[in-house]
Amino acid sequence: MESQRQQKGAVVIILILIIVIVGVGYLIISSSLPRKDKDSRLTSPGNLLETACQKATGDYPEWTNIDSDLVIWQTLDKSFKYRNSPEEPSVGIDSPVSNSETLIDMDFVGANEISYVKNQGNKWQIGFYKLNGMNPPDNSLVYENSEPFAFIDISPINKSEFIVFLANGNNGHLKYLDINNSKEEDLSKLPFVNNGKSKLAVSPKGTYVYLLHNKTLTLFDINSKKQIDKIGSVESIVWLGDSYLLYANQEATFVYDVKTKKENQLDKMDSISDLSFNPKDGGVLAYTQGSSVQVRSCAISKIISSKENARFRTLASDKTVIMEKEDFFGFWRFKNDWTVTFIEKDSNVVTVWQRY
C-alpha cells in the first residue's frame, strides 16, 4: 500500500514538472515571435495619446529645451552647413568627413553638438562635432572599429554609451558600447534583410531602445540587456517620452505603453510614414500621410496644419518642420505658414528631434 502511494506521488510530481516545462517553453517561444494580433493588447477606450504626451514633457534631456530650429546637413559634394533658424543665413563649416570617407549617421548629443559615424573600407569611426560660434567647429574621434559590416546604425544613449546595430550577410548583431570604459556587450543576434528599412533609437532617458528592421519592431531594456517585446508589420515609429511609442502599420496608428505592453488604436490613417514628435506646447506630431505633410496637436487631438504635395523629413522645433517638395527642401513654419528654401536636394540632414 505504501509503495503504491509513493508511485502515485511520483507520477503526480512528473506530471507537474511536464506542465511547468511545457508552459515555460511556450512563454519563451511566444515572446520571441512578432505579435500581429492586436486585439488582446488594446486598452479600453481612453486618450492614451494625450497621457503619453503629457508624461513626455520632462523625459527629454535638458539641452532640448532651448528654443532653436538648428539643422546641420551634408550636401552631395560632402560639404557641411548649418542654419539656426529660417530667419538666419546658412553657414558653411569644415567637414569632419574627408572625400575618401562616407558619412553613415548623425545624431544630436547636445544643443549644438552631434555625434557622427563615418567609414572608409571596413573601418568605421565615431566622432563628436560641436559648433563653436564664429570659430571652427570642435571635432574629435572617440572610437574606431575594423569589424566587417554591410550595414551599420548607431543611436547614442549619452556621449559615452551607444547602441549599435551591425550587420554582415544575413546576420545582424545589436550591441551595447561604452567607449569611456572600453566595454562592448552583445544584446541580441537578429536576422538581417539587405535593403530592408531600418531605424534604431534609444528612448530619451536611455532606458529602452527599439530596432525597426524589415517591418519588425524589437524592443529592449538597456539596463537588463533583455528583449521585452516584438511586434510585426510596423511601418513607422517614434518615441513619445521615455516609456511610450507611437507606431503605424498599414491599417492604423497605435500608442504603445512599453511598461505594460498595452496599446491604444488611434484614428485610422492611410500611408503614415516619417513619424516625428516634439514634447513642447502639449506635444506636436508630424508625419507624411499620402502626398501631404500633416502636423497634429496632442493637446487637442487635431490636425493643426498641412502641406499638400510634400514629404515630411523631420521636426526642427515645436513650430518648424523640415520638408521637401519637387522644387523645395527647407524650413516650413507651420504656425505661420511660410517657407524658406535652403537645403540642397538629397542632402543628409539632422535635427535634435530626428534621433528619437
- pTM for the full predicted model: 0.87
pLDDT (0 to 100) of residue 184: 93
Reading the block at residue 77, the C-alpha cell is 559634394
Q: Are 169 and 190 in contact (CB under 8 A)?
A: no
Closest among 116, 119, 108, 124 to 140, alpha carbons compared:
116
Q: Can you tell me whether residue 261 is helix, strand or coil?
A: coil
- Mean pLDDT value across the chain: 86
Closest among 98, 167, 195, 184 to 139, alpha carbons compared:
98
The CATH code of domain 46-355 reads 2.130.10.10
Q: How far is CA 51 from CA 240, 256, 285, 287, in A?
A: 10, 11, 14, 20
Q: Are 310 and 322 in contact (CB under 8 A)?
A: no
pLDDT (0 to 100) of residue 300: 84
Closest among 283, 168, 153, 302 to 213, alpha carbons compared:
153
Q: How many Å apart are CA 187 and CA 149, to the nearest integer?
A: 17
Dihedral in degrees, nearest 10, Cα atoms 187, 258, 301, 266: 90
- How long, in residues, is the chain? 356
Report DSSP letters for 39-107, one per residue: GGGBPPSS-HHHHHHHHHTTTS-GGGGS----EEEE-TTS-EEEES-TTSPPEEE--SS-TTSEEEEEE
Q: Are 269 and 303 in contact (CB under 8 A)?
A: no
pLDDT (0 to 100) of residue 268: 60
User: Could you give the count of Cα atoms lying within 13 Å of 16 in the half-sphere of its Cβ?
Assistant: 6
Q: Order the strands of the 262-265 sheet from edge to edge.
A: 236-239, 244-248, 253-257, 262-265
Q: How many Å apart are CA 351 and CA 280, to the nearest integer?
A: 15
Q: Which residue blocks in the chain are alpha helix, DSSP H? A: 2-32, 48-56
Neighbours of 262 (CB within 10 A): 15
pLDDT (0 to 100) of residue 34: 53
Q: How many Å apart are CA 241 and CA 257, to the nearest integer?
A: 11
Q: How many Å apart are CA 322 and CA 308, to the nearest integer?
A: 14
pLDDT (0 to 100) of residue 47: 75
Low-confidence ranges of the chain (pLDDT < 50): 1-33, 36-40, 42-46
Q: How many Å apart are CA 295 and CA 304, to the nearest integer?
A: 6
Q: How many Å apart are CA 8 and CA 2, to the nearest integer?
A: 10
